[in-house]
Chain A
Amino acid sequence: MFIVSFLRVIKFSIQDIARNIWLSIATIMILILALFSVNMLLTVDLVSKAAIESIRNKIDVNLYINPSADENAILALKAEISNINQVKDVTYISKDEAMNIFQQRHQNNPEILEALRELGENPLTPALVIKPKNIDQYDSLINALNAIDNPIIQSRNFEDHKALLEKVNNISHKVSEAGLIISGIFILITLLVVYNAIRVAIYTHRKEIGIMRLVGASNWFVRAPFLFSSVIYAFIGVLAIILIFYPFLSLLQPYLEAFFIDYQINLISFFNSHFLYIFGLEFLGAVAINGIASLIAVGKYSRV
């Protein structure tokens, strides 16, 4: 008996949706927009995290060494710096290694390589490349490095990575905030639209509802189809967003790859590996929001 009733609830629910098909479509559209903005928010979050991570990896401090410095003095300096608290590691790049790196980097640029050859000698300076342990200690690291007074240090290049990092952080916060507000607005609109759709569905079916009540249909049987409709909306909405968002991500991917030259980022594989988590949660969220909206509508309008 329960299964029979349950199947009838599903049947009635589908009939409800079909009878107001355009309203149903509009409702699902709004739901899709809301889901899209939520997924966009997630994407922005992923991308900005990747951007910050890639900058963090790039942050290092170069100490240029006087080319005529003695090898032992350089190694002593390296050891001294290694002992600084905030330092993760120090790499010594000799004149020749610097040359190798330079040539490799410009291997597709024969003019520069030609100019270098004409120069006859290696113009590059050896360097100590220092990676900080923690980017938040960047300032104190710089101070510590500035405090070292060693004649073999030719120059110190402390690019202001921190400011850049802060900028990225700021931007991503602002984008996330905007995304959060937009998602919130869409979720609110979804609530209202689903509420309205269920209200109209109840109005369209007021005669049936009246008869149901008259012949002794239970309350849950009168209400369940409308609640179930909202679950169907959620299901179709999430299904649609899956179909829409993957192509969208593959459109985005080449731009991301161009932007993060030496940093691996793949949104599609992220969404793939968290598929159930992301879309399952979104489905549950949509069911919850739609459920609340239709519960209110049913509670308010289905008393006939």
Chain B
Amino acid sequence: MIRLQNVTKIYHPDIKALNKVNLHIRPGEFVSIVGQSGTGKTTLVKTLIGEEKVSGGKVIVGGWDITRIGQSEIPVLRRQIGVVFQDFKLLPKKTLFENVSFALQVCGYPVKKIKSIVPQVMKIVGLEGKMNRYPQEVSGGEQQRTVIARSLVHRPKILLADEPTGNLDSINTNEIIDLLLKINKFGTTVVLVTHNREVVNQLRKRVITVENGIIVSDQAVGKYVL
């Protein structure tokens, strides 16, 4: 599903964020990527969605070589990958429903389809009862669940979550992780970037550890080893 071959990313002028990274993630996997701050985890996520071009190596997503992807193809890629970042990128003046439907609106979906898809994904994340609230009227966990709902509207094969629990307390964190596991059970490949030792240790799933742009360990049932 995801394959990195000798991927190197150098930021101007000479910051080596990724250094010859090789990685293979199979369809349906749940993979945690851990590592200290500034080791290149976010950069890795960005290369997968075409936001950063790699300086060397090859990035293949779903059999598609996106290494030298054109500007006009990026939207096609983005509709196949759901992305969740740490800072909840919700629009404060729109309700949760409107926030999720925004993603479909801007991709040209007709109103009828939007009205059927949005309640479905809101139900998946357990927010079908709060769709008409504004972001500031719900908890941080519920905001992040809305972001996850939004990332699911295109039924992506891959969900990338970059520190989705970074701003949340432990209860909300567990809710989000449970939600990611649920989405993974539906068959979606989930890549979770996290700092959280307990989360990783409880998961008992594959763990990839990154250090200074290099993968230093890759365990099938891993622990947080730093």
Contacts and interface: CB of A to CB of B under 8 A. Distances in A.
Contacts of B154: 215-216
Interface string A209-245: 0111111111101100000000000000000000000
Contact of B78 (A2, A4, A208, A213): A213
B110 A215 contact: no
A214 B108 CA distance: 15
Interface in A110-165: none
B3 interface: no
11 contacts: A1-B109, A4-B108, A4-B111, A8-B106, A211-B102, A213-B75, A215-B79, A215-B102, A216-B79, A221-B106, A221-B108
A5 B78 contact: no
Given A215-B150, A215-B154, A216-B154, A210 B106 contact: no
A245 to B, nearest CB: 39
B214 to A, nearest CB: 28
Interface in B148-162: 150-151, 153-154
Interface residues of B, number: 25
B107 A4 contact: no
A217 B91 contact: no
B75 A218 contact: yes
B76 interface: yes
Interface string B145-178: 0000011011000000000000000000000000
A214 B75 contact: no
Contacts of B102: 208, 211, 215
Given A215-B153, A217-B75, 18 more contacts: A1-B108, A1-B110, A4-B108, A4-B109, A5-B108, A8-B105, A211-B89, A211-B91, A211-B106, A213-B74, A214-B78, A215-B78, A215-B102, A215-B150, A215-B151, A216-B75, A217-B106, A222-B106
